[in-house]
Amino acid sequence: MNKLSRRAFTSALFSAPVAAGLATGTLVHAATKTAADVQPHAQIRLGRFTVTFLNDGYNDVPIGAFQGRPVEELTAMVDRQFEVRAEQTVRISFNQYLIDDGERKILVDAGTGGGFGETGALPKGLAAIGLGPADIDAVIATHLHFDHITGLVRGGEKVFANAEVYADRRDVKHFTDPAKAAAAPDLLKSSFAAAKELARLYPKLQQIEGAEQIVRGVSTVDLSGHTPGHIGVRIEDDGQSLLLVGDMLFHPALHPAAEDVTIAFEADPAAARAMREAFFPRAAEEGALIAATHIAFPGLGRIVKDRGELRWTTADWASMR
Ligand SMILES: [Zn+2]
């Protein structure tokens, strides 16, 4: 089926429900909402932990931001999943996670702070579950790219007044190095600026390296490659586990099948590729429950091997409550 006839088919398929929705007014209601108004949160239980999935918003990233294969091939890959949007973009989510062990509230990543794409919703998401910034005891930054740490700072002040911030020392060293900041491409300048502010405002920044325990049942995992100190977070209790993998996967149309596809923000594409080549098959073998920052909310699923090819499959979070 070619593109045109497939779209015609799609619109025919949906014409009846759309008409029904308009008749009842439900679609009109939905259409008046913006991303910042909607505060979806999904929650799962994992032993003594409650993990809440939060969402700062989304951005439509040009396909040309992905590298490693010709843009026509990347376009075909995402088009196969009906994901090519206006002006050849792929929609990328910004998910964060709140880990609650009954005593401490640990936030993993802090979003963009707004001002980038349709983002800035994280504070509203926290408020929707009854939490203000002062309630957060710790923030673990999976890495120091701007879309994971800018939400930690607002107007030159720290947002999370009572939080210890954890980041890998290799990322702290890299992103606070003035020489590296000066030499960085424009694309990465905001990450260097955000990291500098982070180090200034959170002087107790608890630098870790690779795999370390943060609290009982919550530990970091070395997934370096996307950045020099990119880490995951493993939550484990009562024989269950969840691995928060940060930027290991960007979009299911590309990852995990094409571990050679990188994104322009990856300063060392060879390292990023090596990280994915090592991790994807291992995750499939373990059947690990994974959550990825940029996969559509809540970004929870597994990497599975299907007829010799690795692919992403979403997990049913609603049954894990
Ligand atoms: Zn990211």
- Residues, beta carbon < 5 Å, ion ligand 1: 147, 247
Mean pLDDT of the chain: 88
Distance CA 84, CA 178 (A): 38
How many Å lie between the centroid of ligand 1 and the Cα of residue 17? 35
Q: How far is the CA of 36 from the centre of ligand 1 (A)?
A: 19
pLDDT tier at 316 (50, 70, 90 boundaries)?
confident
Instruction: Kindly tell me the sign of the dihedral angle through the C-alpha atoms of 127, 151, 41, 117.
Output: positive
Distance from the CA of 61 to the center of ligand 1, in angstroms?
Answer: 12
Mean pLDDT of 23-34: 43
CA–CA gap between residue 59 and residue 139 (Å, rounded): 23
What pLDDT score does 98 carry?
97
What is the biggest distance separating any 2 CA atoms in the chain, rounded to whole angstroms? 61
Query: Between β-strands 206-208 and 164-168, what pairing exists: parallel, antiparallel or unpaired?
Result: parallel
The secondary structure of 138-174 as a DSSP string is EEE-S---HHHHGGGEETTEES-TT-EEEEEHHHHHH
Query: How many angstroms is it from 216 CA to the middle of ligand 1?
Result: 26
**Ligand 1 center from residue 127 Cα (angstroms):** 23
List, for residues 91-129, the tens digit of each pLDDT value: 899 999 999 999 999 999 999 999 788 999 999 999 999
Select from 102, 78, 199, 92 the least CA-distant residue to 141. 199
Structure confidence by residue, pLDDT tens digits, 284-297: 999 999 999 999 99
* CA atoms within 13 Å, Cβ hemisphere of 313: 14
Please check whether residue 317 is in contact with residue 291, taking contact to mean a CB–CB distance below 8 angstroms: no
| Predicted local confidence at residue 41, as pLDDT | 64
Which residues are within 8 A (CB) of 280 and not within 5 positions of it... i.e. 6 or more apart?
Answer: 248, 255, 256, 259, 303, 310
35 pLDDT higher than 50:
yes
C-alpha of residue 96 to centroid of ligand 1, in Å: 11
In the block, tokens 């090519």 appear at 84
pLDDT at 8 (0 to 100) = 44
All structural domains of the chain:
41-57+93-320 (3.60.15.10)
Comparing CA positions, the residue from 249, 154, 166 lying closest to residue 208 is: 166
Percent of the chain whose predicted confidence (pLDDT) is above 90: 76
pLDDT per residue as tens digits for the range 153-197: 999 999 999 999 999 999 999 999 999 999 999 999 999 999 999
Q: How far is the CA of 146 from the centre of ligand 1 (A)?
A: 8
